[in-house]
Amino acid sequence: MCGIIGYCGPKPVKEVLIEGLKRLEYRGYDSAGIAIVNDKGLELIKRRGKILDLKKSIPEKVKGFYGIGHTRWATHGGVTDINAHPHVDCTGKIAIAHNGIIENYSSLKEVLLKEGHTFKSDTDSEVIAHLVEKYYDGSLEHAVKEAVSLLKGTYGIVCISVDEPNTIIGARNGSPLVLGIGDNEMFIASDVTAIVAHTKQVVYLEDGEVVKLTRDGFTTTDLRENPIEKEVEHISWELEEIEKAGYSHFMEKEIFEQPEAVKRAMSGRILHPEASAHLGGLNLTNRDLINIERVKIIGAGTSYYAGMVGAYLLESIARVPAQAEIASELRYRNPVVERNTLYFAVSQSGETADTLYAMRELQRKGATVLGICNVVGSTIARESDGGVYIHSGPEIAVASTKAFSSQITVFYLFSLLLARMRNMSFDEGARYIENLQSIPVKIEKVLSRKNEIERIARKYSHYKDFLFLGRGFNFPVALEGALKLKEISYIHAEGYTAAEIKHGPIALINEETPSVFLIPNDSLKEKILSNVKEVKARGGKVIAIATEGDGEIEDIADDVFYIPETAEAFYPYLMVVPLQLFAYFSAIELGRNVDQPRNLAKSVTVE
């Protein structure tokens, strides 16, 4: 989604804004711009294309000590220079940058046009600049409050004016904004990655809040001028965690961080003396937990697939009925919220609009919804009724990888917790923990053989269509593997439960449509083997991800990638890594933009 950066302070603002925008590149964008106020007035430079193009087009002479910047991911209006942000008012003295969607912008624009305002762009965001101009009466903060009070939809905006030097006004409703507190300098941005190089003292704005920023500090109020006290938080991330650390891409780095990420997700949460788990932040007592009669899990994309693994685990390990559902579907089907049902909202960014609004709909109906998020202080994390951070560290690549492994880790832990309150014995719990704690080393082992999966990926990268097939715990992983290939290599791929191909998809099979089978040495192996043979009998090529030592599959599949043995329920951890690498190396072979695939954004904060 769009990225926002603002700065007031002693540093040359142009450099701070450009560097901040570069750190927001991972969010995905198609144009960028900055607005700086100096003794010449308001300088506005904006371009379609990459930040490098923008930087080259900024005249050396442009100086100044405060300003705003924006990376745009087009929602209304084409990708053009004029549609890039920031947008200015008729006088050219007020500039705004906006993240979100103004749903009533047409009617607002109609009124403003009648009042004589002239528009330059065909974006929804530009109406904000003209509304601020309309209501400006000497206080920029007041004018912004008047303006945003008329908006329907979502916004995170920053606004500056020539007539109020060294001041930035920020306002938030639905699109995140975070303040950075420096020494005689202040920052405001869409997320902490844009400011962590300068300060780790941050303040998260909430919906309905407005902030007035100067280099000396900030004040926050609501739209009715009530002052709001804000808590300063400390970010624990280091800048190098956000850098690539020697890898070719963020995606590669994050795939290889998974052993550490899984360890961090488990850290401090395994109770050996009780052969159970402890998840602080659930805000649920043991009595609450024992009264849970079913679990429902919502999410989008990869997070939804992690939720599907969670549902399989809860039902299989804890014997609690569980179901995962796509958040955007649940939201609009007037869901029935049942008593003694616990909901989870899974979201790496904690800002996905589909998941956030579905959570709010569930809460409106009285549901208890726990968040499983990665970004501390994110909206879903703060608005949920409790929850568990996955601690996977910043995930920069648009394609989610380590977050998936960390998300399912939380479900492995929660399933253990519930199971040990119900039917799982101490010894069974101890064995379960042993299996869980053996996973990071086993992931390392899979990663150590990346060259084998690279060979397979390059061999098959010219095909245009793939099927990904798995069963049981690995069905969600097949879906995830198909998503990964689609989103970064742009090759069409479908995930299916293996048995289902007989009911239609097998019509797709020919020499041009390879099938990737997840076929661990578990209780379903023979069933899947028959599906493999059905595909082979029709000339289909088969890539198998199988358990080490399983020679039988070698005689049938065209290519096999072996993973270490583990207990049946734990194969998702080991199956997903070769699929991530398969997608990664396919994308490389095809020359794709691996970290920022076309059309995609890291966090989809619009519906």
Structure tokens of 193? 């990655």
Q: Which of 9, 100, 156, 301 binds ligand AGP (CB under 6 A)?
A: 301
Q: Binding of ligand AGP at residue 302 (CB under 6 A)? A: yes
Give me the residue whose beta carbon is nearest to ligand AGP: 301
Residue closer to ligand AGP (CB basis): 298 or 546:
298
Closest separation in Å from C-beta 601 to ligand AGP: 8
Contacts (Cβ under 8 Å, ≥6 apart) of 174: 100, 153, 154, 155, 156, 207, 353, 605
Q: Between 481 and 510, how does the x/- string for binding to ligand AGP read (CB under 6 A)?
A: ------x-----------------------
Residue closer to ligand AGP (CB basis): 161 or 603:
603
Q: In what order do the strands lie in the sheet with 322-326?
A: 322-326, 294-299, 341-347, 368-373, 387-389
Q: Which residue, 572, 478, 562, is CA-closest to 517? A: 478
Q: Binding of ligand AGP at residue 355 (CB under 6 A)? A: yes
Q: Binding of ligand AGP at residue 300 (CB under 6 A)? A: yes
Q: Binding of ligand AGP at residue 384 (CB under 6 A)? A: no
Closest separation in Å from C-beta 488 to ligand AGP: 8
Closest separation in Å from C-beta 512 to ligand AGP: 26
For residues 129 and 304, what is the distance between their CA atoms, to the nearest angstrom?
37
For residues 309 and 301, what is the distance between their CA atoms, to the nearest angstrom?
13
If binding means CB under 6 A, how many residues of this protein chain bind ligand AGP? Answer: 15
- Applying CB under 6 A, the span of 103-111, 297-305, 422-430, 497-505 interacting with ligand AGP comes to 297-305
Residue closer to ligand AGP (CB basis): 128 or 358:
358
Site for ligand AGP in 322-351 (CB under 6 A): 347-349
Contacts (Cβ under 8 Å, ≥6 apart) of 32: 21, 46, 47, 49, 50, 51, 54, 69, 70, 71, 72, 84
Q: Binding of ligand AGP at residue 352 (CB under 6 A)? A: yes
- Applying CB under 6 A, the span of 83-91, 149-157, 298-306, 545-553 interacting with ligand AGP comes to 298-306
Q: Which of 71, 83, 167, 303 binds ligand AGP (CB under 6 A)?
A: 303
CB-based contact 388:279 (threshold 8 Å): yes
Site for ligand AGP in 391-410 (CB under 6 A): 398-400
Residue closer to ligand AGP (CB basis): 362 or 419:
362
Residue closer to ligand AGP (CB basis): 471 or 602:
602
Long-range contacts of 245-250 (CB under 8 A, 24+ apart): 248/588, 249/397, 249/584, 249/594, 249/595, 250/26, 250/396, 250/397, 250/595
Q: Between 20 and 59, how does the x/- string for binding to ligand AGP read (CB under 6 A)?
A: ----------------------------------------
Q: What are phi and psi of 557, to 5 degrees?
A: -80, 160
Contacts (Cβ under 8 Å, ≥6 apart) of 528: 469, 470, 471, 498, 517, 518, 519
Residue closer to ligand AGP (CB basis): 134 or 486:
486
Residue closer to ligand AGP (CB basis): 96 or 587:
587
Q: What are phi and psi of 263, to 5 degrees?
A: -60, -45
Q: Per residue in 184-209, is it b (16+ CB within 10 Å) or e — as a string? A: ebbbbbbbbbbbbbbbbebbbbbbeb
Residue closer to ligand AGP (CB basis): 347 or 515:
347
H or E segment and range at residue 479: helix 475-489
Closest separation in Å from C-beta 349 to ligand AGP: 3
Q: Which residues are part of the catalytic machinery?
A: 2, 602
Closest separation in Å from C-beta 307 to ligand AGP: 10
Q: What are phi and psi of 113, to 5 degrees?
A: -65, -45
Return the bridge partners of 294, or none.
341
CB-based contact 21:194 (threshold 8 Å): yes
- The residue ranges that bind ligand AGP (CB under 6 A) are 300-303, 347-349, 352, 355, 398-400, 487, 603-604
